[in-house]
Amino acid sequence: MSSLSTRHRMQADQARAYRAAVEVVEARLGASLPRFRGVEFCLADYQKPADLGQAPYYRRYPGLTAKPYWEASEWPAECSSILARFEENQAALRAEFEASLPGTRGGFRGQSTGYFGIADRWLSYALVLETGAPVLEAFAAFPRLAGLLAELVELKLPCKTYFALMKPSVHLAEHCGGQNIALRMHFALRIPAGDTAIRVGGVERRWENGKSIFFDDTFVHEAWNRTDQDRYIVLMRLLHPELTPLERAAYYLVEAEFRGSATFRAQEAEILATKAAEAERAKRLALSSLVPSPTSSWVLDPRQRTSPFLSRAGSGAPRPAWNVSRVGAPESPTASFPLQRPASPMLSEQLYPVPRSQWVTLESPGGYATGSFTSRSG
């Protein structure tokens, strides 16, 4: 992790670049944007609150009501009427989802988050991008849902929307979202019977098929699926109901200007370089203790059908044994492979680049997956 002084330096630079972006957009619109001028960047000194309250980890915008749960009716009438139609048309929307889902299997990707890294058992299929732009292929596959989303996009309301798949036995631990300018909508498409729920600000609610839940993810929250079946919802990030139409339009313009700035691009490159260096150091440390022999016994969690999550035999993981053999085929100079944190069995850690000449191959007797990790720390 970067030093505190580095984080403060980067945060101050970001704040200046953001204010400059706001000024550009104000000039373009011919209007003042005091809420955007007053934004507070939080990341450098971020701490999760002990009282389960609100604590955005990235940006806090002033003057916005904060409470854990919301209702569709609290958005302006032109927005709330569309949000209400999700439940009004739930039967048709759920039927369309079930009919079209088989054709989308390859489109679900592991969630990449600021708090969990890459989560291979919490997957998403994009419908609307962070820029507010529709994903045309997804809109074509789900035309009835796309009709509702297109109306909301026209109003500049959703800043990200996707199908969210939570695999069985997943528990997303307590965390806070990045910025309080947007809330979340969960519209339940396929909810298995059993213990599946979300808890926001200490208040638990359960998903119900065809029903929507609106909440502020900058409050401490957690979610889980303690069943043996997949859970599917539409997850929409909605701009806060107290923003004016001008502010909703300005949000996207400011974001585009800010993310296109030299400061943002330079910091993005710096962060990537820092992460790569940290990953290399972590790889060397973690792999120094992983020195298997041809007779070593390791196990694979069979719930991970496409990604080899490893733990030592005896750690409590399921026990299909893997055969271990050494290979040194130089087909590719590097390969990436996710290592597991024992404390977080459902979420992957990092993708560490490993020289192929150092691979140790693990082959499953069941034949459904293979995985590799290096046997040398140097």
pLDDT, mean of residues 97-119: 72
Domain boundaries in the chain?
4-260, 283-374
Kind of pairing between the strands at 59-60 and 40-41: antiparallel
Nearest Cα to Cα of residue 218 among 60, 36, 18 = 60
Give residue 9's pLDDT.
93
Q: Give the CA distances from residue 287 to residues 32, 108, 121, 307, 374, in Å, rounded to whole numbers and listed in that order.
A: 54, 30, 24, 18, 7
Confidence category of residue 120, pLDDT binned at 50, 70, 90: low
4-260 folds as Jelly Rolls (2.60.120)
Kind of pairing between the strands at 59-60 and 221-225: unpaired
**What burial class does residue 241 get, using C-beta atoms within 10 Å of its C-beta: 0-12 exposed, 13-18 middle, 19+ buried?**
buried
Summarize pLDDT for 147-171 with one digit per residue, the tens. Answer: 999 999 999 999 899 999 999 998 9
Distance in angstroms (rounded) separating the CA atoms of residues 8 and 44: 6
Distance in angstroms (rounded) separating the CA atoms of residues 201 and 175: 10
Whole-model pTM: value is: 0.74
**% residues pLDDT > 90 (the chain):** 58
pLDDT, mean of residues 95-102: 95
pLDDT, mean of residues 286-301: 43
